[in-house]
Structure 1
Amino acid sequence: MRKKCTALILLLSILLPALASCGHLPVPDEDALFRQFTLDLFRQEVSADTITLHYTVQEPESYGIQDTPASLGSFSTDTAVSAASIENCLSLLQDFRYRKLSPENQLTFDVLKSYLKTALLGAPYTLYEEPLSPLTGIQSQLPILLCEFSFDTPEDVDTYLSLLEEMPSYFTSLISFEQAKADAGLFMSSRNAQDIIDECAAFTALGDSHYLFSSFISRLEGLSDLPPVQKEACISQHRDLIYDCVFPAYNRLAAAIAALKDTGTNDGGLCYYPDGKRYYEYIVKRDTGSARTVPQLQNLTRRQMAEDLSAMQSVAPLSGEDSSFALADSSPEAILADLKEKTAGSFPSLPEVTTEIKFVQEEMAEYVSPAFYMVPPVDNSQENVIYINRGHLPDDLTLFTTLAHEGYPGHLYQNVYYASTDPDPIRSLLSFGGYTEGWATYVEMLSYYFTGIDEDRALLEQKNASLILGLYALADMGIHYDGWSLTETVSFFRSFGITDIETIREIYDLIIGDPGNYLKYYIGYVEFLELKKTAVKEWGEDFSQKRFHRAVLDTGPAPFEIVEKAVKEKK
């Protein structure tokens, strides 16, 4: 799972510099004006909170960003301000003369315009959003982001400690947001509320063995500019802040959620909320990047599942002897090196980078995704980190394909490659989950054929993995768009041979708590398959895997309509 703290949410008016205010000065061309506009927008948005700034740029000064106060941000319920901000930015964007822009800037224009128009659709639904979703919510993400907050200078340590001091006020803002949701009849289901309460309790129960302590000491040790006596003082201050600010903030959040636990009016899909079906349509558009309607996506999913089933039926079923798989070297580092070598012929080459593998603390394994990639700053993509949750990776085959998803040629590869094209910085703040997770899932499926296992076995494993994701996608749309109950969801999975009630209940709760999440992976993946069909048709004999991959990677994260246009123009 690709981690990024925030996307571009509230866009304030930006006045273009009066570069041509004096008649005797040369009038800047449209490209220069446009790049100034996107740079101003980037500076404003990336400075909105310290986590976003720190994770997006390593050297803010090189972007003209200085003296930003330490802040975790806050939560707003003002839909009118949100809508007005987006409309203002759209108006400024559309003032540019599109045909006067370079092809690169036209692409940035198209992507930004699409992003803003989609964001405008979601502006009325601010209180429908859920920042405390299972696995991917703030309560899970923020500790990891704090653990990975790099210490390049002593000032970074001061900033980090200031952020810990901000935790009580930040969580107060979060609690106020959840209370506003409850007042509007939009609070989460009681089961999901209990999951959040349990997760907060597990977080604080770690006490002195908490990973925030060990990670802080480890980062301090790597900072040579800080004398030992100051390091000891920082460690003492850090301990006080964890016990005085961080743990109490989580305890307050748990207590607030417990008080609101039974205020939810809906334990079912989004379609049971007022205007909930329209909100779900917005989520699907935002999270998949697909222009298709929900019914069209349901048909696309069923068609792909039928193709997968047909392919599975074309080969002999696995025997018991065929079902085992063991790697000669199952270390993550060895697997990544193997993947990098085996995929080189089908993917464009990358600059050399370093990759550090870290493991999720065992006590938190239940509440964290199976693995995730930490997106590096736009001005330093050489240092990369992948987290592995060993509690969710039961065998070598799962580990291999998961590292393909997170590493080569998945998230790490895609991010490093795109950074090497030197894109407009604003593109780094525009989140397109369908592209990023779709790409990672697409290459994860390809990775089954790089494992070295028998070709028929690889096909069966890959198609089975694709089918399971397709089932989750159909269930997501069925629950939130068609209003499936738990009973109907059980019947659906049983029709595909999945009969364990507790497993289905867990899937149902995850889908209820994080609408559209599975669609990012599956619909994004299938849209890449559809793009490949388009490329084969358009390019004919000139088609190659490497050429196709280069075309979509050069375009970068974007809605699939824009990626398709770019592919067709590569003819």
Structure 2
Amino acid sequence: MRKKCTSLMLLICLLLPCLTSCSLFPGPDENDLFRQFTLELFRQEVAADTITLHYTVKEPESYGIQDTPVTLGSFGADTAASAASLENCLALLEDFRYKKLSPENQLTFDVLKSWLETALQGSPYALYEEPLSPLTGVQAQLPILLCEFSFDTPEDVDTYLSLLEEVPAYFDSLISFEQAKSRAGLFMSSRNAQDVLDECAAFTALGDSHYLFSSFQSRLEKLTELTDSQKEACILQHRDLVYDCLFPAYNRLTAAVSALKDTGTNECGLCYYPDGKKYYEYIVKRDTGSARTVPQLQNLTREQMMEDLSAMQSVAPLSQGEGEAPEETKAASIFTLDDSNPEAILADLREKTASSFPSLPEVTAEIKFVQEEMAEYVSPAFYMVPAVDNAEENVIYINQGHLPDDLTLFTTLAHEGYPGHLYQNVYYASTDPDPVRSLLSFGGYTEGWATYVEMLSYYFTGMDEDRALLEQRNASVILGLYALADMGIHYDGWSLTETVAFFRSFGITDTETIRDIYDLILGDPGNYLKYYIGYVEFLELKKTAVREWGEDFSQKRFHKAVLDTGPAPFEIVERAVREAR
């Protein structure tokens, strides 16, 4: 998890004076001009806020980035300015002579153009966005980003402390944004608001035992350039800033959300808002990278689920009724690891998957555990995307409270580590891509890849083949149910009652559990689609490769083709697969 840049559209206007020369004076080498264009775009965007800069590049000077102000950025909803900036950037991009570009630059051109066009499609919906979504919102991500803010130099400590001073203004802009959402009738549901309030209360309730204090001291101890007295002064300053800036900012946010809690006009899916269905279609396209319509994605999901259920029935005939998963797949897994050490599991996964995936440079992978105090409010696991110039150092967080058994731990580490997020990021970095590609988020590709290999990992556990198939297909079906529910709630307008009935038809009967699922989907529309639709699109890509390549098909060749392409819309990845040699 790294803070994703969302302000590109607001910064394009800054590029116009320095980039118009690209179209006026094309020069003899279109490729040099194009890389100048993308590099300047990268510089402007990555320097937009300090956390983005710190997490994206380890040595900013090597990219020509110097003397940037310390800022967390701000939230805004100027749709007209956003649209104009995006249109201007698209015009600059399209001035390049595409056929004069190298294949690598043509790929960057296509991916950037697609990203800009999709962003332009979403520019009218700024106030529909929800930066406070439960589990993945600002209130949940900021503490992790602060804890992982590395101290490589004493200057990094100064920057970190200055960032804490910026939190109040940052949260004030967030509060203003939420108030604007409320005035527009677009504030979140009251239950989602309560979830945010609970997260904020849990964050500030820890007092002197807060993990931010221990994390700060731990990072500070590694700085040999500072004397003991200097470190002690930093610790005291940090404590004052947490109590004077950070905690009060969370308290103000709590008060603001509490005041707005019951101002929402809609406790159901996005389709009940004005233009909500169009907005949902936009986020589905943005977050999945699929060119299919929502009805087409619903059909694709049902087809995959039927294939999964049929495969399960072939090894364990259904006894519960049509469409319901076998009872034994709902029970706790019988899989037990010989060594449940996460580092050992990662090493085992890397060894077992080596024959099916391209080789990877040597890297380190540090496993950290989510603090017990925040376990309830943090995802089961997440990978911290490293800086583009420092892919050798990788961190995976494990939330032990959300990993009930050894099988879940194994498949989760496959998702986050090998051959999932860690592997995909490190491999792609080894291809030396254009830096601007690191700023273009394609959740369907990244989460789809991680889910795809997570499903493959069941067959590397050493379990009996039939048992592995049951476990894997069952996991696929459950994720498919969540995807159908996401589309049903936000596109078709399912009520809670309809959602309960849907899950019960598949043997999931606990109403409170279904209510929690309903609330999660309300608070983060499209989130489950990144995982499931991305996964199924990779399965469809593999079918295409098998047809196109015939006897030349191999797992390693297929994986190399999609990994070399990098995060992109699936139309572009499919074209790369068809053209792969």
Q: TM-score, normalised by structure 1?
A: 0.97
How far 1:228 moved relative to its partner? 1.1
| Residue type of the alignment partner of 2:379 | S
Residue number in structure 2 paired with 1:108: 108
C-alpha distance after superposition, 1:24-59 (max 9, x if no partner): xx9341000000000000000000000000000000
**Matching of residues 51-200 of structure 1 within 5 Å:** 51-200=51-200
| Residue type of the alignment partner of 1:358 | K
CA contact (8 A) 1:3 1:372 kept: no
Residue number in structure 1 paired with 2:319: none
CA contact (8 A) 1:11 1:86 kept: no
CA distance in 1: counterparts of 2:311 and 2:22, whole angstroms: 63
**Matching of residues 216-235 of structure 1 within 5 Å:** 216-235=216-235
Count how many residue pairs are aligned between Structure 1 and Structure 2: 568
**Matching of residues 301-312 of structure 1 within 5 Å:** 301-312=301-312
Pick aligned residue for 2:429 from 405, 415, 419: 419
Residue number in structure 2 paired with 1:253: 253
How far 1:355 moved relative to its partner? 0.7
How far 1:325 moved relative to its partner? 1.6
Residue number in structure 2 paired with 1:388: 398
Partner-residue secondary structure (3-state), 2:12: coil
How far 1:478 moved relative to its partner? 0.2
How far 1:251 moved relative to its partner? 0.6
Q: Structure 1 stretch 98-107 or stretch 27-36: which is displaced more?
A: 27-36
| Residue type of the alignment partner of 1:80 | A
C-alpha distance after superposition, 1:270-311 (max 9, x if no partner): 000000000000000000000000000000000000000000
CA contact (8 A) 1:185 1:263 kept: yes
Residue number in structure 2 paired with 1:430: 440
CA distance in 2: counterparts of 1:19 and 1:129, whole angstroms: 35
Gaps of 5+ in 2: 317-325
CA distance in 2: counterparts of 1:480 and 1:36, whole angstroms: 41
C-alpha distance after superposition, 1:147-169 (max 9, x if no partner): 10011110000000000000100
Partner-residue secondary structure (3-state), 1:471: helix
1:410 aligns with 2:420: yes
How far 1:10 moved relative to its partner? 2.7
**Matching of residues 371-382 of structure 1 within 5 Å:** 371-382=381-392
Partner-residue secondary structure (3-state), 1:558: coil
CA distance in 1: counterparts of 2:200 and 2:122, whole angstroms: 29
**Matching of residues 439-458 of structure 1 within 5 Å:** 439-458=449-468
Residue number in structure 1 paired with 2:5: 6
1:568 aligns with 2:578: yes
**Matching of residues 232-311 of structure 1 within 5 Å:** 232-311=232-311
How far 1:18 moved relative to its partner? 7.8
How far 1:19 moved relative to its partner? 7.1
CA contact (8 A) 2:358 2:559 kept: yes
Shift in alpha-carbon separation, 1:550–1:430, aligned structure 2, 3 A: same
How far 1:211 moved relative to its partner? 1.2
CA contact (8 A) 1:182 1:264 kept: yes
How far 1:451 moved relative to its partner? 0.5
CA distance in 2: counterparts of 1:209 and 1:527, whole angstroms: 45
Shift in alpha-carbon separation, 1:20–1:367, aligned structure 2, 3 A: closer
**Matching of residues 482-521 of structure 1 within 5 Å:** 482-521=492-531
CA contact (8 A) 2:333 2:405 kept: no
| Residue type of the alignment partner of 1:292 | R
Shift in alpha-carbon separation, 1:17–1:482, aligned structure 2, 3 A: closer
CA distance in 2: counterparts of 1:440 and 1:11, whole angstroms: 31
Pick aligned residue for 2:373 from 363, 380, 385: 363
CA contact (8 A) 1:353 1:383 kept: yes
Shift in alpha-carbon separation, 1:253–1:319, aligned structure 2, 3 A: closer
CA contact (8 A) 2:42 2:436 kept: yes
CA contact (8 A) 1:19 1:27 kept: no
How far 1:495 moved relative to its partner? 0.4
Partner-residue secondary structure (3-state), 2:10: coil
C-alpha distance after superposition, 1:124-154 (max 9, x if no partner): 0000000000111000101101110011110
How far 1:17 moved relative to its partner? 5.4
| Residue type of the alignment partner of 2:515 | R
How far 1:11 moved relative to its partner? 3.9
CA distance in 2: counterparts of 1:323 and 1:379, whole angstroms: 40
How far 1:3 moved relative to its partner? 3.5
1:215 aligns with 2:215: yes
Residue number in structure 2 paired with 1:344: 354
Q: Structure 1 stretch 512-521 or stretch 222-231: which is displaced more?
A: 222-231
Partner-residue secondary structure (3-state), 1:344: helix
CA distance in 1: counterparts of 2:530 and 2:23, whole angstroms: 46
CA contact (8 A) 2:30 2:101 kept: yes
CA distance in 2: counterparts of 1:357 and 1:167, whole angstroms: 28
CA contact (8 A) 1:322 1:457 kept: no
Residue number in structure 2 paired with 1:530: 540
How far 1:226 moved relative to its partner? 1.1
CA contact (8 A) 1:381 1:416 kept: yes
Q: Structure 1 stretch 310-319 or stretch 287-296: which is displaced more?
A: 310-319
C-alpha distance after superposition, 1:162-190 (max 9, x if no partner): 00000100000000000000000000000
Shift in alpha-carbon separation, 1:21–1:519, aligned structure 2, 3 A: closer
CA contact (8 A) 1:30 1:96 kept: yes
How far 1:414 moved relative to its partner? 0.2
CA contact (8 A) 1:20 1:28 kept: no
CA contact (8 A) 1:318 1:457 kept: no
CA distance in 2: counterparts of 1:334 and 1:445, whole angstroms: 20
How far 1:121 moved relative to its partner? 0.5
CA distance in 2: counterparts of 1:262 and 1:166, whole angstroms: 29
Shift in alpha-carbon separation, 1:194–1:564, aligned structure 2, 3 A: same
Shift in alpha-carbon separation, 1:319–1:405, aligned structure 2, 3 A: closer
Shift in alpha-carbon separation, 1:188–1:235, aligned structure 2, 3 A: same
C-alpha distance after superposition, 1:231-263 (max 9, x if no partner): 000000000000000011101101100000000
Partner-residue secondary structure (3-state), 2:383: strand
Shift in alpha-carbon separation, 1:530–1:228, aligned structure 2, 3 A: same
| Residue type of the alignment partner of 1:153 | T
